Amino acid sequence: MTKTVLITGASRGIGAATALAFGRSGWNVAVNYRRSAQQAEEVCEKICSAGGNALPFRADVSDPAQAAVLVDDTIHAFGGLDALVCNAGVALPQMLVTDVTDGQWRELFAADVDGVFYPVRSALPHMIHNKSGAIVTVASMWGQTGGSCEVAYSAAKGAVIAFTKALAKEVGPSGIRANCVCPGVILTDMNAHLSPADLDALREETPLEALGRPEDVAETVLFLCSHKAGFVTGQVVGVNGGLVI
C-alpha cells in the first residue's frame, strides 16, 4: 500500500525538495505551508505531473489547533500517516543575544520548537495505534555546536535535538523511529541575505568545498523515513559537507 508522509514547511527550500524526493519515490505527500500557497501548489503540481500524489495543506504549525487539523486532514485525505517530517522553521537575523527582543524570541521558539512538538503530538496516537511510524525533525548544525550571534536559533535547534532523542526512547517500544537531521549551510531563502563573499568564505571552510543544496538534505530525510533505516533511531545526522564534525 502507498505510504503517506506529511512534511511541514514544504512550500519552499528544504521542505519543497523533500516533498519532491518523496513524491518521486512513490509516497503520497501532504505539502504543508503557512503563507506560500502558490509555491505549495507548484510543488504538488510537479509531483502529480510526474505521476505521484500530493495535496497542499495550509496550517501554522506553531498553533496547536491548526497542527491537529493538519494531521487529521492528512490522514483523512490519504487514509493514513506513515511518516512525519518536521521541517518548518524560521531564523532571526544574526545579532547579539542582548539585542534579541521578547517578541523575536517567542516567534522563533513558536515556529522552531512548538512547531515540532504540536504536529508530533497530534501524529503519535495514529502511529502508536499502528505500531509503526517514522518521524524526522530538522534542526541545524548550530543546535549541535552553538553559533555566535545565533544564540536564540541555536537554543531552539538544540531543543529540537533533545526532543528527538527523548522521543526516540519513549516511542521506540511502539514501533516508531525518530531521528534528527542537522543541515549545515544550504542554499535556500533562509540564507538569501548572505553576500557572495560570505558564501565563498563558508564554502572554503567546508571540507567538501561546496555549499549544500536542499536536495542533499531531502535525500537524507527520505532515507531516514524508509525501511532502509529500519534500525536507525534517536540519531542526529549532519548534512553539512563536513563543516561540523
The catalytic residues are 153
CB 105 within 8 A of CB 152: yes
Q: Is 34 in the site for ligand NAP (CB under 6 A)?
A: yes
CA 132 to chain centre: 20
Stretch that binds ligand NAP, among 29-37, 46-54, 92-100, 123-131 (CB under 6 A): 29-37
Q: Is 241 in the site for ligand NAP (CB under 6 A)?
A: no
# chain residues binding ligand NAP, by CB under 6 A: 31
Amino acid at 185: V
Per-residue binder mask for ligand NAP (CB under 6 A), 61-80, x = binder = xx------------------
Q: Which of 7, 31, 43, 88 binds ligand NAP (CB under 6 A)?
A: 88
In sequence order, the 6+-apart residues with CB closer than 8 A to the CB of 88 are 8, 9, 15, 32, 34, 61, 111, 115
Q: Which of 43, 60, 120, 180 binds ligand NAP (CB under 6 A)?
A: 60
Per-residue binder mask for ligand NAP (CB under 6 A), 107-146, x = binder = ----x---x----------------------x-x------
Task: Please tell me the distance from the alpha carbon of residue 156 to that of residue 235, in angstroms, as a whole number.
Answer: 18
In sequence order, the 6+-apart residues with CB closer than 8 A to the CB of 11 are 31, 32, 33, 34, 35, 36, 37, 39, 40, 43, 56
Q: Is 13 in the site for ligand NAP (CB under 6 A)?
A: yes
Q: Which of 22, 27, 33, 78 binds ligand NAP (CB under 6 A)?
A: 33
Binding residues for ligand NAP restricted to 196-235, rule: CB under 6 A: none
Helix axes 13-24, 37-49, angle to 10 degrees: 20
CB 185 within 8 A of CB 210: no
- Rule CB under 6 A: which residues touch ligand NAP? 8-9, 11-15, 32-36, 60-62, 87-91, 111, 115, 138, 140, 183, 185-186, 188-191
